[in-house]
Structure 1
Amino acid sequence: MRITAAVLEQIDTQTVPHRITLEQIELDDPRDDEVLVRVISCGVCGTDRGCLHGVEPYPTPGVLGHEAAGVVEAVGRNVTRVHNGDRVMIGFPFCGRCYRCLRGEQRYCEKNRDLTFSGYRLDGSGGMRRRNGEELAGRFFQQSSWATHTVALEQQLARVPDSIELEMAGPYGCSISTGAGTVLNELRPEPGTSLAVFGAGNVGLAAVMAARLTSVEHIIVIDKVPERLALARELGATHTFHASSDTVEEIKELTRHRLDYAIEATNGANLVADAVAALGMRGTCAVVGGSSPSAKVTLKHADLLGHGKRLIGVMGGGGQTPAFLESLMALQGQGRFPLEKLVRFYDFADVNRAIDDSDAGITIKPILRMPA
């Protein structure tokens, strides 16, 4: 079928910025285990922007987008979980057959890299092409959903409850579930403990909303933007600090050197060393931020060994897909997870402005609305 997609012609270089244009392209029918989704909306995520700016590799020309929500319009003959007309959002892809998937750790699928960043299916095939026949890298996270329609794997779909607006659901597929899942699935803070979140972007604020659902005593947020710190307090932070050279000591004083958990959720600032230094004995730091894959962290040996601190990486919030996504959406429907306070909508034609506003920190979570 013919659809409209935001085609990435080239990534940023030292002399030329990235170039994205809306084009009419051809989309293949879904295969036996795939689903055709009419996209209603799709988030702009830090991972999309990382590919645009060359932080993460992605082939060009191609189509990005991996936080889609929409309506099922066709299903492959082996699909049983969803049906035509179902309201769905599209989460992380996973193979469902590897060692990690069979252990219930789908976010750590052994095929994760190929499924997310190759731009193609595992067999090397695509599914999007220009009208002149040129192949596009159109399987970003197996969805490439900066488009009016997309094809995704059945197992990465989650149903959207009637209690929330469909166009709000897409960001649960990556950034929001990353922050919330890090708290609820990986750290699982005990009653009376303390948690510090470094970075008040969409991932960090999702972690704050999740922490508010627990019995954590201190929810501390560190950022440089006063408006984001104010929003963090509205969402449940008990204390906020403007990021500075004194932040670590301020956290130690507040928690009496007993900070139990820290989340590094900055978009490139790489405050892992500060987050670890702020921890008390036996504290755990979860790294979820979007620094360059080649970025390095220098830590004091005594912090990890002598103080028993732990440093863990968290992919996409851990947990299972799509069950965890559906539980978060249900919480929003109950008014207990107010994602709407992070969101600003943009018309699909304004995709470049949405990207620029996100880069500049003007918008916390941009969501693209597709034309009817």
Structure 2
Amino acid sequence: MKTRAAVAVAPETGLEIRELTLDEPRPDELRVKIIASGVCHTDAIVRDQWYPVPQPVVLGHEGAGIVEQVGSAVSGFEVGDKVVVGPSFCGQCEQCLSGHPMYCVDFYDRNFGGKRGDDSTAFSTDDGEAVGSHFFGQSSFAEYTNLPAHGAVKVPHDAPLELLGPLGCGIMTGAGAVLNVLRPKPGSSVVIFGTGAVGMAGMLAAKAAGATTIVMVDIVPERLEFAKELGATHTVNSKETDPVEAVQQITDGGAEFALDTTGVPPVFSQMTKSLAVQGHGALVGAAKLGTEAPFDIGTLLVSGITVSMVVEGDAVPKEFIPRMIALYQEGKFPFDKLTKTYRFDEINTAFADSAAGTTLKPIITF
């Protein structure tokens, strides 16, 4: 069938909306009509080739839509089901079987390879040129796409698909890092570096978990003020104040938990130094491959801190996405306040607004 899709063709270049041919779904796949897809920082850095995903390729990995066709080997889905789509994983390796599919041994190839395991792509041009697909197991910047059924999560029929796509990556990353990895107890202290969508989602999750001291660190005054409106108890402008000193003062010696959503080496160092004795910090911000960050092993050795590298919130999407939806419905996780919708033909404006920080979480609607 024919479908319109936004195609990444070169670094630092706007996506091109093209009409492509979509092949038949494989036996283990679903064909999904995408209703909306979030725009994530990872889409931008892959467009710009921080990670060497072959181009041309259809990006997009925060899709939500309606099942149009069910592969012959798929069970548990029917035409008309509403789904939110998460990353792809094998389901058979030790990490998948132990409940950590975001660390699947095949995670990189399945999500950044730009093709299926048999080297085929779902998209092609009229003259037969292959166009990369299956980005994060979905390539959701398309009106229709074929995707592995195991990555799809059924949601209720009254679920607002135009809002839920980011639960499959950006919102899941921030909230999952807090709820699944850091696991702050009620009454605890949390500091979060970065007030983008991932950082704000982490903040909302910390609040839902009962943390009573939540410090947000950034350099943009407007976003820090917005963080306060959403529930931060303290904010620190790290352009004006040493964030390590500020956090230690606010928390009387250091935060019990910390999250770095920036992937910026000096910020990572600040996060490690902001932790209390035996505190736990997590890094979720993506950096270029090969990026190294300073880590004061001499001073920090006696602190007993733990630092975790976290992918996709270490979530099991079929368990965690419904949990986030339940928290949202209870009014305890208002991630909708982070979003702004754009038409499909405004996709490059959405990317630009995200890069400029004027929109925390753009959502493209079809």
Q: Does the 8 A contact of 1:281 with 1:308 survive in 2?
A: yes
Residue number in structure 1 paired with 2:215: 220
Q: 1:146 aligns with which of 118, 138, 141?
A: 141
Task: Map Cα deviations across residues 108-146 of structure 1 (whole Å, 9 max, x no partner).
Answer: 110000011110112222111011100011111121110
Q: 1:166 aligns with which of 161, 164, 178?
A: 161
Residue number in structure 2 paired with 1:9: 9
C-alpha change, 1:183 and 1:31, in structure 2 (3 Å) is same
**Runs of 4+ residues deviating >6 angstroms:** none
Residue number in structure 2 paired with 1:70: 65
CA distance in 2, matches of 1:266, 1:322: 27
Q: Does the 8 A contact of 1:86 with 1:159 survive in 2?
A: yes
Residue number in structure 2 paired with 1:94: 89
Residue number in structure 2 paired with 1:135: 130
What is the root-mean-square deviation in Å for CA atoms of aligned residues? 1.3
Unaligned segments of structure 2, at least 5 residues: none
Residue number in structure 2 paired with 1:261: 257
CA distance in 2, matches of 1:121, 1:99: 21
Query: What's the offset of the Cα at 1:217?
Result: 2.1
Unaligned segments of structure 1, at least 5 residues: 13-17
Query: What's the offset of the Cα at 1:292?
Result: 1.8
1:209 and 2:204 correspond: yes
For residues 293-332 of structure 1, what are the structure 2 equivalents within 5 Å? Answer: 293-332=289-328
Q: 1:360 aligns with which of 349, 356, 362?
A: 356
Q: Does the 8 A contact of 1:304 with 1:310 survive in 2?
A: no
Q: Which amino acid is 2:113 matched to?
A: S
CA distance in 2, matches of 1:277, 1:323: 33
Q: Does the 8 A contact of 2:180 with 2:313 survive in 1?
A: yes
Residue number in structure 2 paired with 1:119: 114
Aligned residues: 365
What TM-score do the two structures reach when normalised by structure 2? Answer: 0.97
Q: 2:227 aligns with which of 232, 239, 244?
A: 232
CA distance in 1, matches of 2:94, 2:120: 24
Q: 2:34 aligns with which of 39, 44, 50?
A: 39
CA distance in 2, matches of 1:19, 1:352: 6
Query: What's the offset of the Cα at 1:269?
Result: 6.6
What is the DSSP-based 3-state SS (H/G/I as helix, E as strand, rest coil) of the residue aligned with 2:178?
helix
Query: What's the offset of the Cα at 1:361?
Result: 0.9
CA distance in 1, matches of 2:315, 2:308: 15
C-alpha change, 1:364 and 1:103, in structure 2 (3 Å) is same
Q: Which amino acid is 1:126 matched to?
A: T
Q: 1:272 aligns with which of 262, 268, 271?
A: 268
Query: What's the offset of the Cα at 1:19?
Result: 3.7
Q: Does the 8 A contact of 2:168 with 2:317 survive in 1?
A: no
Residue number in structure 2 paired with 1:350: 346
CA distance in 1, matches of 2:182, 2:11: 35
Q: 2:195 aligns with which of 189, 200, 220?
A: 200
Q: Which amino acid is 1:362 matched to?
A: T
What TM-score do the two structures reach when normalised by structure 1? Answer: 0.95
The alignment-based identity, stated in percent, is 39
CA distance in 2, matches of 1:268, 1:84: 44
Query: What's the offset of the Cα at 1:10?
Result: 1.2
Q: Does the 8 A contact of 2:265 with 2:294 survive in 1?
A: no
Residue number in structure 2 paired with 1:284: 280
C-alpha change, 1:286 and 1:267, in structure 2 (3 Å) is closer
Residue number in structure 2 paired with 1:15: none
